[in-house]
């Protein structure tokens, strides 16, 4: 009697999720596995850019994004939407990635319908439920629901074991973002944002800045922007590329503090291909993003993490990243040191990327297809 082929429901709602599930979707299609793709539309505009690059057209789009939506708005709409799709499609498994509200609530809907759950990028922890918020609790709650735990690193597996997850249900795969970067790097893509063409990548020390965390919106954001003004004043060779998040609070704050600084390029959110292009050509990265902590080391770019905690300690341990917190003086001092200390820069740039070799999606699909 032949084994029943799985039917996988793959859910994503934000750009980082789409980037990291895209290789899984492509690998599933390559192996002719039945898949149903669902976009919740938690971040509509930024999400569509990625789907176009990877040539993915979702089977369903919940289109939940609205102005000033709250976490409760997201949760209620995703729960009802995914529940309806599960009842219609009757999947054997649902795949969620990471730590977004879309991922957690989709897993909850699967649990309510007694559908198996696979969690990609499982086991990341800071052990502070409000940092990052709400992501830390989202991923812990997904862990309590999941049947398959695809951990990107040994540290992630250890965190899951510490919480009582059965070792037979955990697989170390590496991170699918490396798979995605390999796919994009093979494409000869040019900048699509005209403003990027005016950045002096060849003659300046270009810093990529990204900041968007909810917990940084007040004092933290002000400290970061003050630090950027000080860094550019003290280092005439520095230019800063800052793709400003769609959150209007961030945009208003950035324009107020940084718009008069000619060394800072305030841009709209970049397409994924443009972001990869900047990562390839910049000198270093200042970020509070989790995903960029994984992506920058692929290109040998040192990362200064604008947070007090990180759920990705592997980069810090490997030497590709450093936690520097949110105090203005600390940001300035650490950035200046990295710009001026060539030995330190070389050590961080040449550190081994701890997030795998770009085969995570193959490992994940193999386990799902074989039912272990």
Q: Which of 268, 221, 271, 214 is nearest to 245 (CA)?
A: 268
Q: Which of 195, 189, 129, 140 is nearest to 162 (CA)?
A: 140
Catalytic residue among 119, 213, 245, 312: 245
Q: Which of 349, 345, 341 is nearest to 301 (CA)?
A: 349
Q: How far is CA 49 from CA 15, 18, 260, in A?
A: 8, 10, 29
Q: Note if 135 is an active site residue.
A: yes
Separation of alpha carbons 17 and 19, rounded Å: 5
Catalytic residue among 27, 121, 274, 295: 121
Q: Where are the beta strands (DSSP E) in 98-147?
A: 116-120
Q: Note if 245 is an active site residue.
A: yes
Q: Note if 121 is an active site residue.
A: yes
Catalytic residue among 83, 89, 214, 226: 214
Q: How far is CA 86 from CA 98, 144, 359, in A?
A: 20, 20, 29
* Strand, coil or helix: 54: coil
Q: Which of 137, 70, 333, 311 is nearest to 227 (CA)?
A: 333
Catalytic residue among 48, 61, 147, 212: 212
Q: Note if 99 is an active site residue.
A: yes
Measured from the Cβ of residue 122, the count of other Cβ atoms closer than 10 Å reads: 28
Sequence-ordered list of residues with C-beta below 8 angstroms from that of 176, at least 6 positions apart, any chain? 20, 21, 23, 24, 97, 120, 121, 360, 361, 364
Q: At 322, phi and psi to the nearest 5?
A: -140, 130
Q: Which residue has the tokens 């993490």?
A: 305
Catalytic residue among 15, 17, 119, 135: 135
Sequence-ordered list of residues with C-beta below 8 angstroms from that of 37, at least 6 positions apart, any chain? 10, 12, 25, 56, 58, 59, 60
Sequence-ordered list of residues with C-beta below 8 angstroms from that of 75, at least 6 positions apart, any chain? 101, 104, 105
Residues marked active site are found at: 99, 121, 135, 212, 214, 245
């Amino acid at each position: 009697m032949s084994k029943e082929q799985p039917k996988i429901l793959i859910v994503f709602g934000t750009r980082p999720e789409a980037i990291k599930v895209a290789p899984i979707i492509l690998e599933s299609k390559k192996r002719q596995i039945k898949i149903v793709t669902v976009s919740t539309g938690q971040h509509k505009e930024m999400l569509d850019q990625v789907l176009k690059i990877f040539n993915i057209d979702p089977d369903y789009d919940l289109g939940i994004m609205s102005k000033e939506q709250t976490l409760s708005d997201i949760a209620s709409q995703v729960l009802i939407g995914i529940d309806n799709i599960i009842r219609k499609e009757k999947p054997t498994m649902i795949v969620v990635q990471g730590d977004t509200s879309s991922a957690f609530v989709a897993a909850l809907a699967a649990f309510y319908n007694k559908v198996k759950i696979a969690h990609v990028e499982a086991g990341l922890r800071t052990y502070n439920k409000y940092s990052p918020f709400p992501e830390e609790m989202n991923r812990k709650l997904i862990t309590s629901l999941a049947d398959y735990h695809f951990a990107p690193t040994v540290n992630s597996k250890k965190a899951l074991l510490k919480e009582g997850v059965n070792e037979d249900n955990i697989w170390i795969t590496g991170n699918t973002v490396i798979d995605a970067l390999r796919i994009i790097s093979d494409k000869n893509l040019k900048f699509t944002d005209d403003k990027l063409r005016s950045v002096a990548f060849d003659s300046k020390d270009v810093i990529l800045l990204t900041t968007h965390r909810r917990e940084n919106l007040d004092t933290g954001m002000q400290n970061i922007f003050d630090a950027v003004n000080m860094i550019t004043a003290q280092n005439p060779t520095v230019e800063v590329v800052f793709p400003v998040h769609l959150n209007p609070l961030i945009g208003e704050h950035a324009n107020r503090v940084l718009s008069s600084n000619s060394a800072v390029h305030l841009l709209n959110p970049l397409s994924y291909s443009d972001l990869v292009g900047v990562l390839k050509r910049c000198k270093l990265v200042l970020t509070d993003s989790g995903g960029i902590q994984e992506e920058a080391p692929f290109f040998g770019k040192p990362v200064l993490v604008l947070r007090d905690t990180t759920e990705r300690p592997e980069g810090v341990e490997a030497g590709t990243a450093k936690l520097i917190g949110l105090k203005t003086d600390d940001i300035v001092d650490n950035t200046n040191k990295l710009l001026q200390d060539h030995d330190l820069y070389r050590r961080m740039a040449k550190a081994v990327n701890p997030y795998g070799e770009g085969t995570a999606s193959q490992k994940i699909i193999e386990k799902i297809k074989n039912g272990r």
